[in-house]
Structure 1
Amino acid sequence: MSEIVIDKVWQEYGDQIVLENVSLTVASRAFVALVGPSGCGKSTFLRLILGQERPTRGTIRLDGAPLPPEPGAGRGVVFQRYSVFPHLSVLGNVVLGREFSSSRLTGKLFGARRRAAEEEARHLIAEVGLAGAEGKYPAQLSGGMQQRLALAQALIMKPRVLLLDEPFGALDPGIRADIHVLMKRLWNENAMTVVMVTHDMREAFTLATRVVAFERPRDREEEKLRYGATITKDIAIWPPRLAGETSPFSPDWAGPAIRSTGVQA
């Protein structure tokens, strides 16, 4: 289980309100895409779920329990800029998470435990389409290959929640389409909840089971500088998506492929 419940969350930095009275329940195994204008708090919201920041007001709960105060193995993250270690090989990057979680004191595994971790890592590397590249370093990989590596790096920890902060935005369209196919397969095959920030509406409706829009409801410039964003649209893909299915893109937030589940203001 990996249900996330966000209840009346505010995030403020001094006089600046970034998020304002945000409430959202993300069902276990859902794939939620967060969309909205630049600077409306989507990435801040993701950092709150990750545990990098604490809300000024309100609560976030994971499976009914308060969210741990720090990032942990149960919540994986992939950023737009490749979050891999340049001095480690592909295999070393993926094994690293296992080393830190299994041996916090030394950060190293030896003998049978090391062989088991490497075997698991090699399997995952093959799953993301990087078989044969285990000995290469990130600088030797294309952008799409580095994002595949970042996914393997996150998934080896078997996260209950996978957070994606515009992870495919820097990729060429053809490579991005291939990564979309991979992402859908990984989500179908792994028991995890996915929350993704994206500026690409087509990507949101292609991958997600639910699309949530953040906007600043006040229009005056002086109000935009002071007041925060909240959820203005919450749309579930309809009919419910089955494993491996995609949904038609809907630029107008309406149509036969989607069903509105209400608007929060």
Structure 2
Amino acid sequence: MTALLQMRDVWVEYGDRVVLERLNLSIEAGSFVSIVGPSGAGKSSLLRLVLGQEAPTRGTILLDGKLLAAQCGPDRGVVFQRYSVFPHLSALGNLLLAGEFAASPLLARLFGAARRRAQDDAMAMLAAVGLQDAAALYPAQMSGGMQQRLAIAQALMMKPRILLLDEPFGALDPGIRADMHVLIRRLWQQQQLTIIMVTHDIREAFTLGTRLIALDKRRHDPHAPHRYGAVATYDLPLRGKPDELVFAGGEAQALL
């Protein structure tokens, strides 16, 4: 089976600073990939590459076997740790905006039957994330968990094939975080998504993922710490029930 996303000998460099080097990854459709590693290991840089915000300095990235353009596309959605929603729009307005820009890039407005269809789609998405009763609320009137649910709904409105999560639950308290774990796993299965999630929480990485990739620097030069970049030091398939933290490979103990 051909991988949905492939990275071949990918390097990311900023001037003389190497962030990622010799990255070779193949990600199958429908997988839930957790990315872990210390600060500065290039986790967010990897997400920016997949999103299309950046192009690799060297190497190639393929989506469906075709070269990935260095621009964000509707086939990829992203959710950040900080709630990336528009504060001046209601929950319904936040979700309608994506459809309006897609259908009418000049006016960013829909009318008549097209607007009614877009509203129905937006309400269905709000229901999917448990916000069906909050359509008229503005972000300032919502809790942190509600705002993050709205951000996820916003990212899913364009029906992306790949959903990128950059520490999406790090600012939430433990109870709300557990609820969000249930939500994202349900959406992953229902929407048939491929998810790539960056997290500093190793338990979260094992709990949610079907695969865990750890990024870190294997080579160090004390006189030039910027000379070497991070590589994939671990690439572990996870199996079994996620809440049991079952994994393949005893070397995963080094990550706990």
Distance 1:194 1:224 in 2: 32
Give 1:259's match in structure 2, choosing from 211, 229, 248: 248
- 1:66 aligned residue: 67
- 1:252 aligned residue: none
> Identity percentage over the alignment?
56
> SS in structure 2 opposite 1:97?
helix
Distance 2:152 2:189 in 1: 14
Name the amino acid aligned to 1:188.
Q
Distance 2:15 2:121 in 1: 46
- 2:102 aligned residue: 101
- 1:242 aligned residue: none
Distance 2:22 2:76 in 1: 23
Distance 1:16 1:220 in 2: 12
- 2:235 aligned residue: 234
Name the amino acid aligned to 2:11.
W
- 2:136 aligned residue: 135
Give 1:248's match in structure 2, choosing from 233, 244, 250: 244
Q: Relative to structure 1, is the Cα distance of residues 139 and 121 closer, same or farther in structure 2, using a 3 angstrom cutoff?
A: same
- 1:253 aligned residue: none
Give the TM-score normalised by structure 2: 0.94
- Indicate yes or no: 2:176 matched with 1:175: yes
Distance 1:10 1:29 in 2: 26
- 1:38 aligned residue: 39
Distance 1:143 1:222 in 2: 43
Q: Relative to structure 1, is the Cα distance of residues 178 and 218 closer, same or farther in structure 2, using a 3 angstrom cutoff?
A: same
CA contact (8 A) 1:234 1:260 kept: no
Q: CA-atom RMSD, angstroms?
A: 1.7
CA contact (8 A) 1:29 1:194 kept: yes
CA contact (8 A) 1:2 1:192 kept: no
CA contact (8 A) 2:4 2:28 kept: yes
Q: Relative to structure 1, is the Cα distance of residues 2 and 94 closer, same or farther in structure 2, using a 3 angstrom cutoff?
A: farther
How many angstroms does 1:262 deviate by? 9.6
Distance 2:239 2:105 in 1: 45
Distance 2:224 2:215 in 1: 16
Q: 5+ residue gaps in structure 2?
A: none
> SS in structure 2 opposite 1:153?
helix
Distance 2:115 2:222 in 1: 57
- How many pairs were matched up? 251
Name the amino acid aligned to 1:259.
A
How many angstroms does 1:131 deviate by? 1.5
How many angstroms does 1:229 deviate by? 0.5
Distance 1:90 1:247 in 2: 32
> SS in structure 1 opposite 2:87?
coil
